[in-house]
């Protein structure tokens, strides 16, 4: 008998009720206590399902964490720890000095990270003796799908704006693209936080629309690919800030054709994700195989360019966009893995 299975004897009490005891270890692991409510559902003719009430299931979310740092701790290391605690689902995070006080640079780095990276997080106390961060957002108000769609829209907009900036040699627009990358990351961090909470809490898993923890893993990999899409748009914008001029129009036309192809493939793969459609995912993978046709046109146009610097920039832009088309194929592969069981023939 596994740790997830127990045999208990039904007992009769009073005049019309039966009772059954529950293992103490299970109660402790679920964060339940005497007086908490549970929901009992009859499933068919031979099964009963017992789950914590909705409010109690939510209350099992991690409440508070205390992060102690020294004056010599690197700012980047502090932020990585802070993000990790955010991922783990803590509602309140206290950052305190192990001794002495928080350094001005540390305080500024923490406040900047909370504002720019952690969606739904607010600083409710700030002094040299410590910073208290509270996550105020309700995880069910912005679903995984909802956050992902916003993240996807932002990443695609960044890519199109980056190319427009290059075409017009618009340095201000390029800077806006770079700034938008933080917003894409904020949605990514928020989704990861939701997924980790879902994996740890069976009720939240169902409430977020997942049937099993394996789906959470698939979503996590897909989110990473969308983050990388934003990263490649940022690289294109940074290229313009470095060289401060556009590239020839005929090459830009071909690059934009490649971009249209990459975005349409990405859209098709993500539509397959939302619809849980195996056939749509297969179609996205098949479409991605046309990538070489677009890359070939760009490489042919580069051969006639005598300016080596310009040729290099065009090749680099093409490589960044081609990677996005490859990410679309990766997403479609993940969707296949998440939905393959639907294609199995059921036993009669």
Q: Is the dihedral of CA 341, 344, 345, 348 positive or negative?
A: negative
Instruction: Give domain 64-135's CATH number out of 3.30.110.20, 3.40.470.10, 3.40.640.10, 2.60.40.10.
Output: 3.30.110.20
- The 10s digit of each residue's pLDDT in 178-232 is 999 999 999 999 999 989 888 877 777 777 778 788 889 999 999 999 999 999 9
Nearest Cα neighbor of 75 from 47, 53, 95, 55 is 95
Asked if pLDDT for residue 55 goes beyond 70, the answer is: no
Q: Which CATH class is domain 144-343?
A: mainly alpha
Q: Is the pTM value of this prediction over 0.85? A: no
Asked if pLDDT for residue 257 goes beyond 70, the answer is: yes
Quick check: do 64-135 and 144-343 share a fold?
Answer: no
Backbone phi, psi, residue 292, to 5°: -60, -30
- Residue spans per domain, the chain: 11-59, 64-135, 144-343
* Range among 1-10, 201-210, 239-248 rated most confident: 239-248
- Write down the pLDDT at residue 157: 95
Contact 64, 92 (CB under 8 A): yes
Contact 68, 85 (CB under 8 A): no
Can you point out the beta strands (E) in the chain? 11-13, 17-19, 38-43, 47-52, 64-69, 92-97, 121-127, 130-135
Alpha-carbon distance of 247 to 156, in angstroms, equals 21
- The 10s digit of each residue's pLDDT in 106-153 is 999 999 999 989 988 999 999 888 999 998 765 556 788 889 999 999
Nearest Cα neighbor of 163 from 252, 228, 251 is 252
Tell me which H or E stretch contains 75.
helix 75-87
Alpha-carbon distance of 26 to 6, in angstroms, equals 10
């Amino acid at each position: 008998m596994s740790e997830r299975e127990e045999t208990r004897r039904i007992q009769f009490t009073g005049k019309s009720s039966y009772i059954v005891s529950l293992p103490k270890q299970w109660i402790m692991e679920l964060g339940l206590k005497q007086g908490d409510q549970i929901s009992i559902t009859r499933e068919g003719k031979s099964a009963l399902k017992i789950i914590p009430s909705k409010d109690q299931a939510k209350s099992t979310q991690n409440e508070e964490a205390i992060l102690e740092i020294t004056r010599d701790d690197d700012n980047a290391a502090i932020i990585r720890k802070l993000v990790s605690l955010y991922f783990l689902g803590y509602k309140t995070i206290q950052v305190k000095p192990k001794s002495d006080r928080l350094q001005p640079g540390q305080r500024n780095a923490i406040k900047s990270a909370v504002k720019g990276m952690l969606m739904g997080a607010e600083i409710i106390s700030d002094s040299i003796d410590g910073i208290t961060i509270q996550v105020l957002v309700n995880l069910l108000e912005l679903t995984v799908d909802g956050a992902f769609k916003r993240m996807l829209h932002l990443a695609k907009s960044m890519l199109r704006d980056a190319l427009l900036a290059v075409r017009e040699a618009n340095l201000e627009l390029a800077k806006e693209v770079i700034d938008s990358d933080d917003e894409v990351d904020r949605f990514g961090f928020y989704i990861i936080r939701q997924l980790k909470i879902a994996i740890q809490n069976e009720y939240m898993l169902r409430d977020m629309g997942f049937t099993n923890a394996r789906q959470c893993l698939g979503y996590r990999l897909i989110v990473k690919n969308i983050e990388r899409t934003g990263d490649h748009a940022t690289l294109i914008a940074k290229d313009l800030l470095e060289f401060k001029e556009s590239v020839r129009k005929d090459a830009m036309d071909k690059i934009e054709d490649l971009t249209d192809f990459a975005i349409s493939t990405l859209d098709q793969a993500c539509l397959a994700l939302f619809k849980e459609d195996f056939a749509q995912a297969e179609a996205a993978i098949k479409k991605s195989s046309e990538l070489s046709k677009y890359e070939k046109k760009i490489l042919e146009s580069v051969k006639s360019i005598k300016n080596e610097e310009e040729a290099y920039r065009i090749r680099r832009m093409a490589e960044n966009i081609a990677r996005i088309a490859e990410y679309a194929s990766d997403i479609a592969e993940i969707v296949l893995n998440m939905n393959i069981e639907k294609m199995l023939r059921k036993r009669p």
